[in-house]
Structure 1
Amino acid sequence: MEEPWVLDAYDVAFLAGGAQRVVESAMIALSDCGLLKLSGPRVRAVGAVGEALPQHPVECALIASCPRSRSAASVLAVLQRSPEVQEIARRLAARSLVTGSRRRLTRLGRRQLRAAERGEGLPDYVFGGPAVLPDGLVRRGVVSARPVPSGLGRALIRMGKALDHDSDSGSGSGSGSDSDAGSGGAFSCGGGSGSH
């Protein structure tokens, strides 16, 4: 019979929030022990004298990625795709806790995550991310590292430009919105114009 596999904090973080949660958890853990300094949107490794170096590969990769001050967002983006984080994903997929390609939780993965939540010994941020931290420099630094979804932002910018263009071309030309009714080539907010 195979010995049960024990999940470490970063395995559980991956189950709770994917690669982003793994890196966020490492940022928080290293900040808590004084090996990482988060100030605003910047992060840098600081060597505390007499402190032991981190032992987990993700923590080592994080320390190595920012010997000088760097954007926390760029560190987060790079480390999410790092071999260390991808190895966690491969290991969890091999244990059938996440799917192979999209890294979604399987039924077994959800059971393992619930068991870890019921257990003790893991910090709350492993499960809930920086939202569970008290307001302060660490929380603000990790939250500022999160990328803004670009798809919605780009769509809103395009929509704003289109509205600006429509209002500029419509003024003074004598063509109101009524003149385009029935052209059929534009988007419509109303119901259909034909009878069914």
Structure 2
Amino acid sequence: MTPQPDVYDVACLAGGTQRVVDAALVALVVTGRVRAVAPGELQVADARRRHPVEAAVLDAVGTRGRRSVETVRWRALGDDRVTAVVRRLRREGLLGRLVGPTAAGRRLLREARAGAGDPVRRVAVAGLRQLADPALRAAVLEPPRRPVVPGAGTPWELTFADGYDVARRTREQLLAHHLEGRG
């Protein structure tokens, strides 16, 4: 068993790999290593890596341009440094194969909930909806106002990495723009 579980262990036990990525995003924004250039649009400000999960998220943001939060999540969720947390917690007997945390994992979560004061720990334990700071919420929770494609010539271009939600939202924006032009 891990002598001192870190915030990403807690996040994984509480909400799986999605919560791990969300906690890392908040940690990177809070420490200034990633900045929100607009709601839902992220850019690396300082590429120093302090933890493998944070390194995976920094790599998902990329060193050039900016990326939407959805794209960062999509890219980071498939990274071995994130999925390694699940494998390790299973080996250590804290995470079950199917259902969720084991009895030992639930004990660890109860202890973590008692000490969840800072925003990163609150997100790890209870999710992004627990963020009180409006700027931090906008950075990691709001969708971008337009598709974010590094180096794209227009805001309507998409890449495969932008995912279904961005493509659907962009289609809706294009239709609205088209209808406004006719009216």
The TM-score with structure 1 as length reference comes to 0.63
Rounded to whole Å, the distance in 1 between the matches of 2:33 and 2:2 is: 32
Task: Tell me the CA shift for residue 103 of structure 1.
Answer: 6.2
Cα RMSD after superposing both structures: 2.6
55, 60, 66: which is aligned to 2:55? 60
Q: Structure 1 stretches of 5 or more lacking a match? A: 151-196
2:114 corresponding residue in structure 1: 118
Rounded to whole Å, the distance in 2 between the matches of 1:81 and 1:137 is: 27
Contact 1:93–1:103 under 8 Å retained in 2: no
Contact 1:73–1:144 under 8 Å retained in 2: no
- Greater relative contact order (CA < 8 Å, ≥ 6 in sequence): 2
Task: Tell me the CA shift for residue 34 of structure 1.
Answer: 0.8
Rounded to whole Å, the distance in 1 between the matches of 2:51 and 2:133 is: 27
Contact 2:11–2:23 under 8 Å retained in 1: yes
1:127 corresponding residue in structure 2: 125
1:139-150 map, 5 Å: 139-144=137-142
1:1-196 map, 5 Å: 5-38=3-36, 39-47=38-46, 53-66=48-61, 67=63, 68-100=65-97, 102=98, 104-119=100-115, 123-144=121-142
Contact 1:43–1:71 under 8 Å retained in 2: yes
Deviation track 1:34-86 (CA, whole Å, cap 9, x = no partner) reads 110122121111128xxxx2310111121122222011101112212210111
User: How many pairs were matched up?
Assistant: 141
Rounded to whole Å, the distance in 2 between the matches of 1:118 and 1:95 is: 22
Rounded to whole Å, the distance in 2 between the matches of 1:65 and 1:19 is: 14
Residue 144 of structure 1 aligns to a residue whose secondary structure is coil
Task: Tell me the CA shift for residue 13 of structure 1.
Answer: 0.9
The TM-score with structure 2 as length reference comes to 0.67
Percent identity of paired positions between Structure 1 and Structure 2: 32
Contact 1:19–1:85 under 8 Å retained in 2: yes
Contact 2:94–2:102 under 8 Å retained in 1: yes
Contact 2:26–2:140 under 8 Å retained in 1: yes
